[in-house]
Chain A
Amino acid sequence: MDMPARAAEEPQSRLDRMIPNESELTAGVRIEPGKSYGFFTDTTLCIGCKACEVACKEWNNLPADNIGLTGQSYDNTGALSANSWRHVNFIEKAGACGVRDNTQAPFQSGWLMMSDVCKHCHNAPCLEACPTGALFRTEFDTVVVQQDICNGCGYCVPACPFGVVDLSELDGKAHKCTLCYDRLKGGLEPACAKACPTDSIQFGELEDLQERAEKRVAQLHELGAANAYLYGAPGSPGATGDLGHLNAFFLLTDRPETYNLPPAPTRAANRVAPSLGTGLAAMAGLALAAFAILSGRD
């Protein structure tokens, strides 16, 4: 078993101090400003334990959204929201009331689980839409809402092509995953990735993660899971429409829509120039025509 090199230095179970650069121990990566960090969520490893949801709520002090049952498999969170920054999807492909197949293709082909999160897009539509500058790109190449600046205009909510950002009814500000900005600053791995017991959620430097993900896809193809593919890595579905790549990307085994993901999201800001240009040109034409009519002899 491979253990991080520094793990042996910290044998005690109770600590009287912070471990410097703890992420080296838990994720095998040192967190340094100026580099790109992200999540690689491998859905073939997800067991649907929701430890990520709990760890996120605990660390970020997020209140409960609802305590009802949805009747939609084990998914009682429903969707990402202002108070839920991780959300585990449950998809029962073999009929819930029918007879289950005795033989199934390998790697969770009959029951899909996926821990959804803010994608921290390279060209993030929420950030580009924010009129106050409350949404900004951090030194770790992640996208965060500054709570002391947000005035709750809500424009980032429809801007997001993934339906992630949400306004809180409690404080009237926009909220979403921060990729644990505060933890990264302290050299800690994000709470969800640290809590994930199967390493379905992996935190790391983006280039490392992308490389690791491609190897995992190749490995799965070899093992017979031919439908495994990446969503949000450069050149794959999800990284379309000028969004660039997604800093939080996924390994999926079914169509993106099955996981409530858009197959070809687009960058909303690319529609500003065509819309504004055409509108102003039309107004210029109409103004000229109005001038001709008004100055005409009647």
Chain B
Amino acid sequence: MSERLASELGPQEQPRVPPSASQASAPGRSAHWDGPTYYGRPQLKAAPFNNWVVGAYIFIGGLSGAAALLSAIADRARGHEAAPVVRRGRFLSMLAPTLGTSLLIYDLHTPQRFYNMLRLVKGTSPMSLGSWILVSFSAFSALGTLAAEAARWMPRFPWLRRTARATQLPAAVAGAGMTTYTAALLSATSTPLWAAAPQSMAVRFGSSSLAAGAAALALGNTGRMGRTLDKVALLALAAELAATCVSHNTYRRTGVAPALNGEWGKVEKLGATGLGTLLPMGLYAVSLARGRSPMLSTLAGLATLAGSATLRVSIMAAGDESANRPDVSFRFTQPRNLPKRWFRR
């Protein structure tokens, strides 16, 4: 529409009123914010993370952690039969120390000072806790992988195999931390979408990681190992779906749901939940009912991995939208959303 001269305006027509800082004086009780905003400007600052880089790290870190956890479980449960799966799990667990760490350092705005992350341990900062989880996970999985690979070449040294086995349990525990601490990291901010559902988002990230880990370990595997890993992936996907339902319910209750109406919200609903959770659940179920069809299982595994990555990137981007929209952030910080124990008046 082109600019119009004031003389062209009809007698009833007013010039366009600039957005008032307080068009409404008080909010009603509706789900959408109808109270005042400051010229529609953001009330919060969105996280300055690169969503592709940090989203990729969260996916890779979760995948690595889950691979370490599942290979330790497979080793304990199946012993020698699981050896190929355990070996693949060790290689997958090396993704976080190598690629994951590089992505994190790349996203720093002063990357040459990355080592300052290890100046202290701070219980109130999941980024500090997470740095230590990543460091310990990296140490255990790197030591375990090196020892296990060395043991293949030098079977005469039994201590190598013992070392590899000894690192499995600590790597699995740190791996469980790797799958979920990233959700705590996002939740412990003031970004409404991330802060609204701390618990269900942690379950969602963890189970999505476990599904991705099981899918990656099962890819190309035939026979019993492949079948049981498919079942683990199906179980994790079911847990993820349940956590997704709970978190979306919380989003509606706390008023941050409008932040998921945008493009990234659609990616989250259709991509992460539809194609990344429901579709592989169906594929796994059909495949298992037929006594495991390799093609269906492979398809399901790939969909699970893609869905797990999509979940992280879309949650990060939709979170930025929730921070940039004052209607969402004001609706979220109404006193009625305060947990009772925090309500100090």
Q: Give A residues with C-beta under 8 Å from B.
A: 70-73, 75, 78-79, 89-93, 95-98, 112, 125, 128-134, 149-155, 157-167, 171-173, 235, 237, 239-242, 254-255, 257-272, 274-276, 278-280, 282-284, 286-287, 289-291, 293-296, 298
Contact = CB atoms under 8 A, between A and B. Distances in A.
Contact of B38 (A260, A275, A279): A260
Main secondary structure of the interface of B (DSSP, over half): helix
Interface string B102-123: 0000011111011011011011
Interface string B177-188: 101110111011
B5 interface: no
A271 B202 CA distance: 11
Main secondary structure of the interface of A (DSSP, over half): loop
B21 A90 contact: yes
B312 interface: no
A152 B345 CA distance: 36
12 contacts: A78-B41, A132-B113, A151-B116, A152-B108, A239-B344, A255-B26, A257-B37, A257-B326, A268-B188, A275-B187, A276-B180, A294-B228
A284 B235 CA distance: 14
Contacts of B116: 132-134, 149-151
Interface in B201-260: 201-203, 205-207, 210, 214, 224, 227-229, 231-232, 235-236, 239, 243
Interface in B132-168: none
Interface stretch (B43-51, B88-96, B264-272, B294-302): B43-51
B274 interface: no
B206 A163 contact: no
A275 B342 contact: no
B314 interface: no
Contacts of B22: 91, 93, 254-255, 258
Given A257-B36, A263-B330, A293-B235, 6 more contacts: A72-B21, A96-B18, A129-B189, A132-B120, A276-B126, A294-B228
Nearest to A164: B45
Given A161-B44, A295-B77, A283 B338 contact: no
B212 to A, nearest CB: 13
Nearest to B234: A293
B127 interface: yes
B329 interface: yes
Contact of B74 (A157, A286, A294): A294
B293 interface: no
Chain B residues touching A, range: 35 or more
B206 to A, nearest CB: 5
A272 B21 contact: no
A155 B205 contact: no
Interface in B330-345: 330, 333-335, 337-338, 342-345
Q: Which 9 A-B pairs have the closest CB atoms?
A: A152-B109, A279-B180, A279-B202, A172-B109, A260-B38, A295-B77, A151-B113, A128-B124, A262-B333
A153 B111 CA distance: 8
A108 B131 CA distance: 50
B17 interface: yes
B289 to A, nearest CB: 14
B171 to A, nearest CB: 13
Nearest to A292: B77
A153 B117 contact: yes
Contact of B122 (A71, A133, A160, A270): A133
Contact of B190 (A152, A265, A289): A265
A173 B109 contact: yes
Contacts of A274: 198-199
Nearest to B344: A240
Contact of A255 (B25, B117, B129, B228): B25
B195 interface: yes
A279 B126 contact: no
A260 B37 contact: yes
Given A268-B188, A271-B188, A286 B109 contact: no
A153 B337 contact: no
B176 interface: yes
Nearest to B195: A271
A240 B340 CA distance: 11
Given A92-B21, A155-B125, A163-B45, A131 B117 contact: yes
A244 to B, nearest CB: 9
B11 interface: no
B203 A266 contact: no
A171 B108 CA distance: 12
B19 A282 contact: no
B309 interface: no
B335 A263 contact: yes
B170 interface: no
B43 A163 contact: yes
Contacts of A267: 342
A286 to B, nearest CB: 5
Given A163-B43, A291-B77, A235 B345 contact: yes
B4 interface: no
Given A268-B195, A280-B180, A132 B210 contact: no
